[in-house]
Amino acid sequence: MTEKSFNQLCLQIGNTACGVCREFITFFGFSGDIALAAWRVLRRPRHLNWRSVLYHADTCGSDAVPIISLLGLLVGVILAFQGIVQLSRYGVEGYIVNLVGAVIVTELAPLLTAIVLAGRSGSAFASELGTMQANEEIDALFTLGFDPIAYLVFPKIVALVIVLPCLTIFADVCGIIGGMLISCEKLDISSTEYFSRTLEVVKPIDLFQGLLKSIFFGIIVAVIGCMKGYYTERDSQGIGRSATSAVVTGIFLIVLCDAIITGIFSSIT
């Protein structure tokens, strides 16, 4: 390695480290603004833009039901296929019900739903706020005496916190149905027996773990998407970069949060 390339490598590492530090500072500052907005809304719930909450709950929720249901069904089918192949080597393929039920409810359904919404809603939030920032609409709200965080950002967070657990339940049901279709075909068990065994395997703590993850994932998707759009550069390229960064950063934080929550529940149970 030549001295010039080594210097370029060090410069790139330094720029990356500085960029990460700036991202953390921006994230914590933006989170503080959201916390202040949440406190004001809790004191005066009428000040929350409920129309915006319902609008985003509709666009982020009902529009995503078909793709979430289809992906949940296919994931259940794939998991059952692979699980039967691996478990049959040890003669315990009957435990496929345990595998599909536990993995879908605690891990795959909330994670899959969050990743889909990070691609759909996270990028949409970043593009929307980025366009408003480029058109100086957010500055106009400041001038008119509105708090952009409370008026634009907080309703999106509330909407995703409501919607994402509901979509996770859709993914749970469809994933279990997908596993049932393959298990009943390959193992010759009835659907009634499959569902009864699933209810025995899936404990309330498993369902609570999956829904708790989905709430945190909804907060991450909304906060990251809004933050990237709120602090975007005021040009078309900046809006595009913000939308892309919102998806990438959101998915990374979703997986990180999933690992942390899974570790906590593993140590408790």
- Collapsed DSSP state (helix, strand, coil) of residue 13: helix
pLDDT at 127 over 60: yes
When mean pLDDT is compared across 87-91, 152-156, 259-263, the lowest value belongs to: 87-91
CA 177 – CA 232 distance, rounded (Å): 42
* Mean pLDDT on 188-209: 86
Q: Does any domain span residue 14?
A: no
In a domain? residue 55: yes
Residue 1 in this model has a pLDDT that exceeds 60? no
Residue 60 counted as domain residue: yes
Which position has the higher pLDDT, 223 or 88? 223
Q: Which two tokens stand for residue 191?
A: 């659907």
Cα dist from 240 to 102, 144, 229, whole Å? 38, 28, 10
Task: Give residue 36's pLDDT.
Answer: 84
For residue 59, is pLDDT > 90? no
Please list the alpha-helical segments (H only) found in 44-108: 50-61, 65-88, 96-103
- pLDDT greater at residue 4 or residue 265: 265
Q: Give backbone dihedrals phi and psi of 217, rounded to 5 degrees, phi first.
A: -65, -40
Q: Is residue 10 assigned to a domain?
A: no
Segment 232-242 shows an average pLDDT of 80
Q: Work out the percent of the chain whose per-residue pLDDT is above 90.
A: 28
* 222 assigned to some structural domain: yes
For the chain, give the mean pLDDT.
85
Assess whether pLDDT exceeds 70 at residue 42: yes
Looking at this protein, which amino acid is placed at residue 24?
Answer: F
Mean pLDDT, rounded, for 209-231: 91
Q: Please give the tally of structural domains in the chain.
A: 1
Instruction: Assign 7 a pLDDT band (cuts: 50, 70, 90).
Output: low
Q: Is residue 82 part of a domain?
A: yes
Domain range for 94: 49-263
* Coil, helix or strand at residue 230: helix
Q: Kindly state the percentage of the chain with pLDDT values over 70.
A: 97
**pTM, whole model, 2 decimals?**
0.88
The per-residue pLDDT for 30 is 80
User: Tokens 């892309």 correspond to what residue?
Assistant: 244
